[in-house]
Amino acid sequence: MRIRILLLLLGIVWEGWAQCPTKLVNGTQDYKGRLQVSSSQGTTMIAEGTSDRILKICKGTTIQVEDVTANNNPSLTAYNFNYQSAEVDLSAPLFDKVNKSYTYAKAGTYGLIMVGSASGTGSYACQTVQVLGNPDPNFEVDACEIEQVTLVIPKDSSRNPYDEFTVEWGDGNTEKVLKKDLPLTKVHIYKNAGTGVAISVQGTYEGNICSSSKVSKFIDPGKLNQSPKPIVTLLELSATKTVATIQFAGPVSTTQEIFQKEVGGTYVSTGIQIQNNLTSERITNLNPTKQYCFQVRSVGGCASSSGSDEICTLPITVVAKAKQMEVNWSAYPQATAAFESYTVSNGTTTFPVITDRTQTQLIDQSELECGTSYCYRVTARVNNINSISNEVCEEIESTVKPDPITQAYATLAGKAAVLTWESPGGKILDYEILRAEAGSKLEKIEPDTTIVNPYKDRQINPLQRSYCYQISYESACKTWSNPSAAVCTIYLSQKGGELFWTSNNPFTEDLSEYTVQALDAQGNVVASSNVAKATSISVSSLGFPISPDYEYRIQSTSASGHISWSNSIPIQEFFQVYVPDAFTPNGDSQNDVFLPKVLHVNALKLTVFDRWGNSIFSTEDESEGWDGSINGKPAPQGSYSYRLDVRNELGDSFTKRGVFRLIR
């Protein structure tokens, strides 16, 4: 089985790490199963589908699982107690139908997966299980003065991960120490320690989920009058590599002195002496090109040790390359102190521990993003002491062009073109827009404001022509994409009895259809006609009347439903028609006949209707009008309606309707 590990080790120092998968493949287990998990520690939790809660148990704990999905088929239920990938192949032999219990022997975070069948469909559930390690706590006890013992508990994420520590001093006194108090140096005075003392420390996690063994250390009577050597807990190198900070603890009431040397050299005093038994000191004026080692020695008083364990700096360099970082460091010096490991971190990811002292390079090929500064450090673990390198922050380099914009469209809004696009993922530094006028050469727009999405181009005249645009962008890697496919505004015009519009696509995707729309003075659509993918239409074929009160535009629709509008225009009546709104058939030879006047008309038909819609007059002679009579008798005064159908020499038709008054 091939497992693609996409998860990052986020600073966790346990032996394993996983979580519920984020992707299911080769299966349809999309029904939320119900997985009941019970631990031998008495904790029970139910996961429905993928649980966002974490079940915390102690290393060595046995869990019991049960499929409690409604209407489940128990014979088809199977489990995987230790899944280690960001995706799960439901067709692979990953699951166990036999075992319903499991003992976690190693600390870490595990994906516990259940697959099965319920209500006739596949079911799936996952519970994240965090197994807490219970290492023996790391502490030191020693004595310098009579019947006085110093306890040192260092800040140690691997051996002192507990939230609370219980200290038993061996004389009936007990003390609680919290994790936030570390590193801790505590002095305890005994009334009678003539037979020696046994001091024990036990670590416990919050909620008593898990505890360490109780570890005891004995101080014999003779040692109560002997000075212990100082204990170094941390060494950290500054970003400039010219300052080292050392943390240490020494015997009470004893002067401590710091010594340094170059690797391979001889120790000399730094001149720094400290009376405080627990301190942090800075050693300055270091040569950034060299590697140094340090030792703390007790001087005067009851001091009898030769000094602390040696701890050395770990200078690093980082080289940014295309899509990766190269981290290099000086090998930790070969010494009598026990080298344990290197740990490399970039601020978001902690990489697997390196146990080979001679390995001095790590190539970071994780999912690094341009525009993000990654800060690297290497920690050497030596004799239970951490030596932390200088921090180096870099951004990755890239010469690869980012993917072009693939979804964009152009439309008109008043006298401006509006460009809208779907931005690609990641940080974008800048945009560039190219514009061409009606088939001319594309040229870069010099915007009067910063380009934002959507962008309004007001430097155009959409009532004269169409404009085409291409969009490109600068990625966080400071490389420019290729321009997008061109998107163009629609230019609508009228020639005689025909409407024409430009055919260049306003969308980067396929165009679905055009629609001719009539708009009232408020911009509301009052009529429309779908013309499929045609780019012209006769006015007489629109299927709705033409009005001088309306403007007309083209609406185009893309395959995914985006809308683009053309400019709006009034439709000029290519027939010249004048219809009076009143006449007076009183025999005075003025306005005695209701007669429309027409030009450029090849044929017409005039019909007059009474107020009830009855036809009372009709003619196809353009010189004949209605004289105001019905069946030879004068028609009553009032309002009448008309319909005038005309056709020109080109065969274009036009219908005009209206109302007029007969006045007597």
State the Cα–Cα distance between residues 638 and 582, nearest whole angstrom.
10
pLDDT for the residue 163: 94
State the Cα–Cα distance between residues 560 and 458, nearest whole angstrom.
27
Mean pLDDT of all residues in 606-610? 97
Q: Where are the beta strands (DSSP E) in 238-299?
A: 244-249, 255-262, 268-274, 278-283, 292-299
Q: Is the dihedral of CA 452, 458, 462, 464 positive or negative?
A: negative
Q: Where residue 264 sits, what CATH number does that domain have?
A: 2.60.40.10
Find out whether 256 and 274 touch, Cβ atoms under 8 Å.
yes
- Residue 325 falls within a domain, yes or no? yes
Q: At 575, is the pLDDT very low, low, confident or very high (cuts 50, 70, 90)?
A: low
Q: At 2, is the pLDDT very low, low, confident or very high (cuts 50, 70, 90)?
A: very low
Percent of the chain with pLDDT over 70: 92
Same domain assignment for residues 105 and 45:
yes
Confidence check: pLDDT of 136 > 80: yes
pLDDT for the residue 10: 28
Q: Which residues, including other chains, have CB under 8 Å from residue 410's CB and lie 6 or more apart?
A: 417, 418, 419, 467, 468, 469, 487, 488, 489, 506, 564
Same domain assignment for residues 30 and 113:
yes
Same domain assignment for residues 219 and 241:
no
Q: At 269, is the pLDDT very low, low, confident or very high (cuts 50, 70, 90)?
A: very high
Amino acid making up residue 613: G
- Residue 72 falls within a domain, yes or no? yes
pLDDT for the residue 43: 84
Confidence check: pLDDT of 179 > 90: yes
Residue ranges making up the domain that contains 40: 23-132
State the Cα–Cα distance between residues 374 and 560, nearest whole angstrom.
40
Question: What percent of the residues of the chain are helix, what percent strand, and what percent coil, each to the nearest 5?
Answer: 5, 50, 50
- Residue 92 falls within a domain, yes or no? yes
Q: Which of 225, 254, 282 is the last residue of a domain?
A: 225
pLDDT for the residue 29: 60
Q: Is the pTM of this model over 0.75?
A: no
Q: At 346, is the pLDDT very low, low, confident or very high (cuts 50, 70, 90)?
A: very high
Same domain assignment for residues 482 and 516:
no
pLDDT in tens, 392-433: 999 887 778 889 999 999 999 999 999 999 988 778 889 999
pLDDT for the residue 335: 66
Mean pLDDT of all residues in 556-562? 96
Same domain assignment for residues 38 and 118:
yes
Same domain assignment for residues 128 and 55:
yes
pLDDT for the residue 1: 29
pLDDT for the residue 14: 34
Number of compact structural domains in the chain = 7
Return the H-helix or E-strand segment holding 602: none
* CA nearest to 661, candidates 644, 640, 642: 640
Q: At 13, is the pLDDT very low, low, confident or very high (cuts 50, 70, 90)?
A: very low
Same domain assignment for residues 219 and 275:
no
Q: Which of 190-204, 240-254, 604-618 has the highest mean pLDDT?
A: 604-618
β-partners of residue 597 are 578
Classified as helix, coil or strand, 429 is strand
Token pair in block for residue 591: 């306005």
Q: Which residues, including other chains, have CB under 8 Å from residue 605's CB and lie 6 or more apart?
A: 618, 619, 620, 644, 645
Mean pLDDT of all residues in 245-271? 89
Q: Is the dihedral of CA 86, 87, 93, 97 positive or negative?
A: positive
Q: What is the DSSP string of 446-510?
A: --SS---SSEEE-SS-TTT--EEEEEEEEETTS-BPPPPPPEE---EEEETTEEEE--S-SBSS-
Q: Which of 174, 202, 225 is the last residue of a domain?
A: 225
Query: Peptide bond before 454: cis, by omega within 30 degrees of 0?
Result: yes
Same domain assignment for residues 558 and 609:
no
Confidence check: pLDDT of 11 > 50: no
pLDDT for the residue 7: 28
Classified as helix, coil or strand, 548 is coil
pLDDT for the residue 18: 60
Classified as helix, coil or strand, 245 is strand
Phi, psi of 225 (to 5 degrees): -115, 25
- Residue 4 falls within a domain, yes or no? no
Token pair in block for residue 46: 């139910």
Mean pLDDT of all residues in 361-372? 88
Confidence check: pLDDT of 8 > 60: no
Confidence check: pLDDT of 253 > 80: no
pLDDT for the residue 585: 94
Phi, psi of 32 (to 5 degrees): -75, 105
Considering the chain, what is the average pLDDT of its residues? 87
Same domain assignment for residues 28 and 42:
yes
Q: Find where tokens 């000191």 sit.
A: 281
Mean pLDDT of all residues in 496-505? 90
Q: At 579, is the pLDDT very low, low, confident or very high (cuts 50, 70, 90)?
A: very high
Classified as helix, coil or strand, 625 is coil
- Residue 18 falls within a domain, yes or no? no
Token pair in block for residue 630: 């019905």
Query: Peptide bond before 333: cis, by omega within 30 degrees of 0?
Result: no
pLDDT for the residue 507: 97
Same domain assignment for residues 496 and 533:
yes
SS3 sequence of 285-352: CCCCCCCEEEEEEEECCCCCCCCCCCEECCCEEEEEEECEEEEEECCCCCCCCCEEEEEEECCCCECC
Find out whether 124 and 32 touch, Cβ atoms under 8 Å.
yes
Q: At 336, is the pLDDT very low, low, confident or very high (cuts 50, 70, 90)?
A: low
pLDDT for the residue 223: 60
Q: Which of 175, 207, 225 is the last residue of a domain?
A: 225
Token pair in block for residue 116: 């099965």
State the Cα–Cα distance between residues 409 and 432, nearest whole angstrom.
15
Same domain assignment for residues 585 and 649:
yes
State the Cα–Cα distance between residues 428 and 354, nearest whole angstrom.
37
Q: What is the CA radius of gyration of the chain?
A: 44
pLDDT for the residue 195: 75
Produce one character per residue of 582-609: b if its CB has 16 or more CB atoms within 10 Å, e if not: ebebeeeeeeeebbbebeebeebebbbb
State the Cα–Cα distance between residues 649 and 581, nearest whole angstrom.
27
Structure-model confidence comparison of residues 148 and 227, the more confident one: 148
State the Cα–Cα distance between residues 655 and 642, nearest whole angstrom.
10
- Residue 417 falls within a domain, yes or no? yes
- Residue 520 falls within a domain, yes or no? yes
State the Cα–Cα distance between residues 109 and 101, nearest whole angstrom.
17
pLDDT for the residue 243: 97
Mean pLDDT of all residues in 530-538? 93
pLDDT for the residue 41: 76
* CA nearest to 654, candidates 578, 540, 516: 540
State the Cα–Cα distance between residues 210 and 175, nearest whole angstrom.
19
- Residue 182 falls within a domain, yes or no? yes
Q: Where residue 614 sits, what CATH number does that domain have?
A: 2.60.40
Identify the weakest region by mean pLDDT among 81-95, 282-296, 576-590. 81-95
Same domain assignment for residues 324 and 372:
yes
Token pair in block for residue 477: 């890697």
pLDDT for the residue 220: 76
Q: Which of 336-345, 394-403, 610-619 has the highest mean pLDDT?
A: 610-619
